[in-house]
Amino acid sequence: MLDLPDLLDSLCAVRPDRRPGSPGNAAATELVARTLRALGWAVETPEFPVVDWAGEPGRLTIDGRSWTVHPSPYGTGWTGIAPVHAAASEADLAGEHDGAILLLHGELTAGGPLTPKGYPFYGSDRDTRIIGALEASGAAAVLAITGTAPGIAGSVDPFALVEDSAFTVPAGDLRRDDGAALLATLAAQPSAGARLELPARRWPSTARNVLARRGDQSDRVVVVAHVDTKPGTPGAIDNGTGVVVLLRVAELLADLPADARPGVELLAVNGEDSHQAAGELDYLASADLGQVRLAINVDGAGHRSGPTASSTYGTADTLDLAPLRAHGVVPGEPWPQSDHMVFAMAGVPAIALTSSAMQRLLVDVVHSPHDTPELADPALLEGAAQGIAALVRAQG
């Protein structure tokens, strides 16, 4: 039997983290593929291009006083001296900003992160206008006073207003308290110059999905968990636990015959926490979702604070979920924020399994350095895997 805590520790120990394109991500996907092959599954690891990134906190200094600036993930760096122009609205972006440091606040940052350019699953006319105005502004750099946005960005503080490897202006973010002090300084010294040090760089790389299949793929159940993380987090609950459950499901279903119907596809997808969504796009480019009977996504499950919860999407609400309930999975609230929506938006019935305390975890844990393996309850992971395996067998 697989040692679930050991697998989780191994996934969280890779360095620097499991962001797509990084060495840690490559090590994690190889661990998943190797484990699935050892369990007797036919495994593929298709490769696709991504952008990798590295950055560290910088500083903005005005007249001897400094504030910490966090580089926007997947953005570029910049160091120089320039005036600071504060902008609180879209109208403010229309001014003359050539060579300046644009400091965004107010309504420009109140709505949470801006949708990345070309994001494939949803869009925002407002966000498109703002990004276009920033790129056309001539600004040397863009800084944003943000804070937290748990429903979208997890517990990170400050959240990145722009997280986009296609964004052309160096960008960074400040916490709200620092931003308020900076705005007060600018109000007292409106013509003061500032020195910005924003260390960050990005470069082309590659990443892989891991797919394992058994049985008739023209009529299949897909079990999915994302293997990637945001930069800077060990990603135990988000989503090392999901990957561990996926691997245990593979072990529990290892006796399925070669002609099983429905067949099973296990997908460790690489991109749920990335603005590029490259793993999802690569999978969708070749997958015939019309052949998928049911998708089961595991993301954020196993936190020790309470039971695993399930929610259904599309016609999955008519399924008999007794196999899940028999293994301790309780009904949960709708949670349209993970890879099950890739299937649900295509009309495929879908189920999501996550921790019943997920809304609190988004505030305290998710996307942070605090998301470590000791937060997980191995018994909950085993129960989730047993429930999924039983539900898959019940579809035959």
User: In angstroms, rounded to a whole number, what is the distance separating the alpha carbons of residues 29 and 21?
Assistant: 11
User: In angstroms, rounded to a whole number, what is the distance separating the alpha carbons of residues 184 and 317?
Assistant: 53
* Count of Cβ atoms closer than 10 Å to residue 331 Cβ: 12
Question: Chain-centre distance of CA 12, in angstroms?
Answer: 15
Note the pLDDT tens digit of each residue in 154-172. 999 999 999 999 999 999 9
In DSSP terms, 96 is beta-bridged to none
Taking all residues of the chain, what is their mean pLDDT, rounded to a whole number? 96
Give DSSP secondary structure letters for 140-195: SEEEEE---BHHHHBT-SSPPS---TT--S-EEEE-HHHHHHHHHHHHH-TT-EEE
Q: Is residue 183 scored above 90 in pLDDT?
A: yes
What domains lie within the chain, and their CATH numbers? 4-53+205-394 (3.40.630.10), 57-198 (3.50.30.30)
Average pLDDT over residues 305-327: 94
User: In angstroms, rounded to a whole number, what is the distance separating the alpha carbons of residues 71 and 156?
Assistant: 13
Model confidence band, residue 191 (pLDDT cutoffs 50, 70, 90) = confident
Q: Provide the residue type at 34 as one letter.
A: R
Percent pLDDT > 90 in the chain is 92
Q: What is the pLDDT of residue 349?
A: 97
Note the pLDDT tens digit of each residue in 126-151. 999 999 999 999 999 999 999 999 98
Q: Is the pTM of this model over 0.85?
A: yes
Note the pLDDT tens digit of each residue in 21-39. 999 999 999 999 999 999 9
Selection from 109, 202, 101, 94 nearest residue 152 by Cα: 109
**Residue found by looking up tokens 């082309």 in the block:** 204
**Residue found by looking up tokens 């494939």 in the block:** 120
